[in-house]
Amino acid sequence: MSPSLFISDLHLHQTRSETSAAFFHFLSNDAAQAGALYILGDLFEYWVGDDQLDHDRFSRKVCDAIRILSDRGVNVFFMHGNRDFLIGDRFATEANLTILTDPAQIRQGDRSFLLLHGDTLCTDDRAYQQFRRQTRAPAWQAGILAKPYDERVALAASIRERSDTEKATKAADIMDVSPATVEAVFRQYGYVDMIHGHTHRPATHVHMVDGHPCTRQVLADWHKQAEFIRIDELGQRKAST
């Protein structure tokens, strides 16, 4: 079984140069030796449509770097996050990656895992869930994508600002997963272990659900170094490089 690596919440942007450097280094080192790379959302700080590839040289560079990895034979998978849910088929084709639905169940050797970005588990954050429903609606997205690129970038910046203002007044536990929702998801998917990001609270939790011990691994967000979970025949471990 070749190793699989799991990452999320890089929030790549040209102004986050240390994180970008860590990502490019990661792609040509740890990731290049893996069989598969799973990017579980929020690869980018924001994504306003696949024409971002034409307007933003940094985004183009990230796409091309992923393609170099996938062309070397590493299977790259991407799941949308709450920052980059507008990544579409063009990006997938040009980066040579596969977009996964959220959640997605995968097998690694003799084990199964349920992969999620993690935002769907934060059901106590009603304002966010309302925002999510609105922005995931195909009609809303079609209307947004019809707007000029610069207008979309300005809109993304204003949503980011409003999000930061609202987060400052939200209780911390509202922005974490809802324990009841986590239990319900474990139950729905047959008590399969979970891997997700989004909350920026890296940890390994074991939930007892209906007598089943269910593991929930939370990925770390990136700053100066690569943060990933690696699963291979020896088991799994968290790593920072």
Residues that bind ligand LP5 (CB under 6 A): 46, 48, 82-83, 86, 119, 122, 125, 127-128, 131, 144, 152, 155-156, 159-160, 162-163, 166-167, 170, 175
Q: Which is nearer to ligand LP5, 73 or 148 (CB)?
A: 148
**11 near Mn ion, rule: CB under 5 A:** no
User: Which partner, ligand LP5, Mn ion, none, binds residue 81 by CB below 5 to 8 Å per kind?
Assistant: Mn ion
Distance, CA of 231 to CA of 6 (rounded, Å): 8
Partner whose binding site includes residue 65, from Mn ion, ligand LP5, none (CB under 5 to 8 Å by kind): none
* Residue bearing tokens 């799973």: 38
Q: Under the criterion CB under 5 A, does residue 42 sit at the interface with Mn ion?
A: yes
Taking the alpha carbons at both ends of the chain, their separation in whole angstroms is 22
- Quote the least distance from Cβ 227 to ligand LP5, whole Å: 16
Show the tokens assigned to 186.
């474990």
Q: Write the Ramachandran bin of 198: left for phi over 0, alpha for psi from -120 to 50, otherwise beta.
A: left
Restricted to residues 99-158, the positions that interact with Mn ion (CB under 5 A) are none
Question: What are the b/e assignments for 109-141, b being 16+ CB within 10 Å?
Answer: eeeebbbbbbbbbbbbbeebeebbeeeeeeeeb
Window 172-211: residues binding Mn ion (CB under 5 A): 198
Distance CA 25, CA 50 (A): 24
Q: Which two tokens stand for residue 185?
A: 């998801």
Please say which residue, 50 or 84, places its beta carbon nearer to Mn ion.
Answer: 84
Nearer to ligand LP5, 27 or 39 (CB): 39
Q: Which is nearer to ligand LP5, 152 or 191 (CB)?
A: 152
What residue ranges bind Mn ion (CB under 5 A)?
42, 81-82, 198
